[in-house]
Amino acid sequence: MSYKVIPLHEGVFSVGWDKEFRRIAPGDPPRKASLKIALNPFLIQTPDRNMLLDCGLGTFGLENHTAILLNNLDQLDLSERDITDVICSHLHYDHIGGLAHQTNGYWELTFPDATIWASEKEWAKMQQTSDEEVPHAEFVNFIEARADLELMDDDVQINEYVRSYCIGGHTEFSRMTEIRLQDQLLLMAGDVLGTRGAVNRRYAAKYDYDGKRSMQLREEIQKRAYKENAILMAYHDTVHPLFRLSGYDDEKGYQITNTAPHYEAG
């Protein structure tokens, strides 16, 4: 069996201050004062594991994203019971909403046989806050009671392929995920570097917990990705969520080169 990384595209959306994800056509502009972003959970396949890196909106959006995600898996001849791990970059609902759903009127685990990997400190913070961006308390309590939940400290080698560690920036405890498949390194930094448009830009976003930290991290990630020929995984990119930095110019910055629609080796 080969090694694969496949974006499970849930669509393109216009997202405003109300934080509602309103579906739009890929070529359409976002609504006024809104961002245009996509949702791309990543499937990581190895000979012994089927892992998800973040898992979409679930049933927290205006439509049933759980059904979209499961249909994407079905197109690859996988079911929810084939998923061995779900690795969370951070705990905003557009990244973890797919962990459980209420499709039948009650909470159910979307991936009942998977281990869920999440930041211990961010999970504790999520339980203590009433911020509207945090999923409902009953969702959090259900996951904690019913799922195989592994809460991670600062630096964890999840298995032989995946390492996760805290970087901060977008949230206080946002995590970097490093994936090594044979000789290839892939990097996913959640919303610290969520789109290709973030490459070559210096900005401190107001929506980040620490915008200056995110700006510093983006520069570091780009330098490393270019030096090590890593594939960058951009969860919110609307066009091509997998790409490399294939060249550098002092005036223009990094040259972006798309990979195939999904990565495969072996």
* Residues 71-119: tens digit of each pLDDT: 999 999 999 999 999 999 999 999 999 999 998 889 999 999 999 999 9
What are the Cα distances from residue 60, in Å, to 113, 142, 147? 22, 15, 19
The whole-number pLDDT of residue 135 equals 55
β-pair type (115-119, 148-152) = parallel
* Residues 252-264: tens digit of each pLDDT: 999 999 999 999 9
What is the pLDDT of the chain when averaged over all its residues? 95
Closest by alpha carbon to 121, among 168, 64, 82, 84?
A: 168
Domain ranges of the chain: 3-265
* Amino acid of residue 13: F
Q: How confident is the model at residue 223 (pLDDT cuts 50, 70, 90)?
A: very high
Give dist(CA 41, CA 28) in Å, integer.
22
CATH fold, domain 3-265, is Metallo-beta-lactamase; Chain A (3.60.15)
Whether residue 132 has pLDDT greater than 90: no
Q: How confident is the model at residue 134 (pLDDT cuts 50, 70, 90)?
A: low
* Residues 155-178: tens digit of each pLDDT: 999 999 999 999 999 999 999 999
Closest by alpha carbon to 37, among 6, 58, 16, 62?
A: 16
Residue 135 DSSP label: P
Give dist(CA 90, CA 103) in Å, integer.
24
* Residues 175-219: tens digit of each pLDDT: 999 999 999 999 999 999 999 999 999 999 999 999 999 999 999
Closest by alpha carbon to 178, among 141, 230, 134?
A: 230
